[in-house]
């Protein structure tokens, strides 16, 4: 059993505040990812959980016990860093065994624990190698192995895959998800890569400038972002935003004026929106399709990226120069031409002038 609760965490470095009143409860065996752009405070928060950084105010609880002033060793955590931090002169076996040697673990037990970790991480045939003879992914697995043998209550990962190439990152994502299932442990993982967050997390905490934007499941964040920031951060390619004046509000939703296509009713809960207010409308590239009627959003195509299974179409729409549509397959589109795009109004997101999302009335099946 290892729950982690962060209670009203604030952090200042000298006179500058970098974390603001962060409170979340992480459940036993959960895989939680802290994600956000560079400098948003995610590593500082992870280091606070680890005890490598003090809180300025607030509490860290592990299994219901306040550990805010406990030494890192007393917290039952183990941290894997981006830089691997392996000993180059020691073999893979000895690198994994290192914490057990420090703890004076009996030889037979040490052997059994290292072999089990090596087996889980598929390193059994590399145990005699030195780190310099390993690939990046293998080195990262050794660092994880050293963490596993400590049998921590909570695993902490600080951008562990960012030194790897794209293909290896993809493989390691799958391996880490499998590892989480086989160890049945609580894990907290820091990354700036929203794809890593979406693919591995049970729940994701999105941070922006030290503030918690949203904490929820990947699909909740994707389909029901609470803020424009989360909507723009989660999803690839990024959501398109258009400003649209609020024409009227009634029980069916909000009517707005969209570029070129004119009046459109959006089936959303209007929150505290006023008639005449300038709203932001969000359309995901993958929610757009080529119009068969010749009506719809007019996009002047600048660049095509043909990916085989889909085609990314970049161009300008009205006053928006960086609009993107993701069309299925080998879309029949050419650079330089004008195409019209349809979008289902139920998939459109709307944000008030403070960037707060209006709840969509029709939620996808997966959230019901």
Residues of this chain that bind ligand ATP (CB under 6 A) = 13, 18, 36, 38-44, 192
268: Cβ–Cβ under 8 A, 6 or more apart, which residues?
Answer: 253, 254, 350, 358, 359, 360, 361
Nearer to ligand ATP, 44 or 214 (CB): 44
CA distances to 157, 261, 286 from 340, in Å: 45, 10, 15
Q: How far is the CB of 163 from ligand ATP (least distance, A)?
A: 13
Nearer to ligand ATP, 46 or 343 (CB): 46
Q: How far is the CB of 44 from ligand ATP (least distance, A)?
A: 3
Task: Report residue 358 as tokens.
Answer: 């209006």
Nearer to ligand ATP, 39 or 136 (CB): 39
- Sort 151 into a burial class: Cβ within 10 Å, 0-12 / 13-18 / 19+: middle
Distance CA 43, CA 60 (A): 15
Nearer to ligand ATP, 158 or 280 (CB): 158
Q: How far is the CB of 169 from ligand ATP (least distance, A)?
A: 16
Distance CA 291, CA 47 (A): 50
> What are the start-end ranges of the H helices in 103-234?
107-120, 136-148, 166-183, 194-200, 218-223, 228-233
- The closest alpha carbon to 152, from 104, 58, 80, belongs to 80
Q: How far is the CB of 320 from ligand ATP (least distance, A)?
A: 29
Nearer to ligand ATP, 39 or 267 (CB): 39
List strand residue ranges (DSSP E) for 217-296, in order.
240-250, 253-258, 262-266, 278-283, 288-290
Nearer to ligand ATP, 180 or 192 (CB): 192
List strand residue ranges (DSSP E) for the chain, in order.
4-13, 16-26, 31-35, 57-62, 65-66, 77-80, 154-158, 186-191, 203-208, 211-216, 240-250, 253-258, 262-266, 278-283, 288-290, 297-306, 310-317, 320-328, 338-343, 349-351
Q: How far is the CB of 365 from ligand ATP (least distance, A)?
A: 34
Nearer to ligand ATP, 43 or 78 (CB): 43
Q: How far is the CB of 14 from ligand ATP (least distance, A)?
A: 7
Nearer to ligand ATP, 42 or 126 (CB): 42
Q: How far is the CB of 54 from ligand ATP (least distance, A)?
A: 11
Q: How far is the CB of 40 from ligand ATP (least distance, A)?
A: 4
Q: How far is the CB of 209 from ligand ATP (least distance, A)?
A: 9
Nearer to ligand ATP, 36 or 131 (CB): 36
Give the H/E segment covering residue 47. Answer: helix 42-50
- The closest alpha carbon to 63, from 149, 148, 154, belongs to 154
């Amino acid at each position: 059993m290892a729950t982690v609760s962060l209670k009203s965490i604030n952090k200042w470095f000298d006179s500058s505040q970098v974390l603001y009143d962060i409170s979340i409860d992480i459940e036993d065996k959960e895989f939680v990812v802290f994600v956000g752009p560079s400098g948003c405070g995610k590593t500082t928060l992870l280091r606070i959980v680890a005890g490598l950084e003090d809180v300025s105010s607030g509490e860290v609880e592990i299994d219901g016990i306040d550990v805010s002033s406990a030494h890192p060793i007393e917290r039952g955590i183990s941290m894997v860093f981006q830089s691997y931090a392996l000993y180059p002169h020691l073999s893979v076996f000895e690198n994994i065994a290192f914490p057990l040697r420090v703890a004076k673990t009996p030889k037979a037990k040490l052997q059994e624990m290292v072999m089990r970790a090596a087996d889980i991480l598929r390193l059994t045939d590399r145990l005699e190698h030195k780190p310099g003879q390993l690939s990046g992914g293998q080195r990262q697995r050794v660092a994880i192995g050293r963490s596993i043998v400590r049998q921590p209550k909570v695993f902490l990962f600080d951008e562990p895959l960012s030194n790897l190439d794209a293909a290896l990152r993809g493989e390691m994502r799958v391996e880490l998800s499998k590892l989480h299932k086989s160890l049945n442990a609580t894990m907290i993982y820091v990354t700036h890569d929203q794809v890593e967050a979406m693919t591995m997390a049970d729940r994701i905490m999105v941070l922006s400038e030290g503030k918690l934007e949203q904490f929820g499941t990947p699909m909740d964040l994707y389909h029901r972002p609470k803020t424009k920031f989360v909507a723009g951060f989660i999803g690839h390619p990024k959501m398109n935003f258009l400003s649209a004046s609020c024409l009227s509000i009634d029980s069916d939703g909000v009517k707005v004026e969209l570029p070129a296509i004119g009046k459109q009713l959006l089936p959303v809960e209007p929150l505290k929106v006023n008639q005449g207010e300038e709203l932001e409308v969000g359309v995901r590239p993958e929610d757009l399709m080529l119009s068969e009627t010749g009506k719809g959003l007019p996009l002047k195509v600048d660049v095509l990226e043909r990916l085989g299974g889909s085609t990314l179409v970049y161009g300008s729409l009205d006053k928006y120069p960086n609009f993107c549509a993701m069309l299925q397959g080998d879309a029949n589109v050419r650079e330089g031409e004008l195409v019209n795009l349809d979008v289902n109004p139920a998939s459109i997101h709307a944000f008030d002038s403070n960037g707060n999302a209006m709840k969509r009335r029709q939620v996808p099946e997966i959230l019901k």
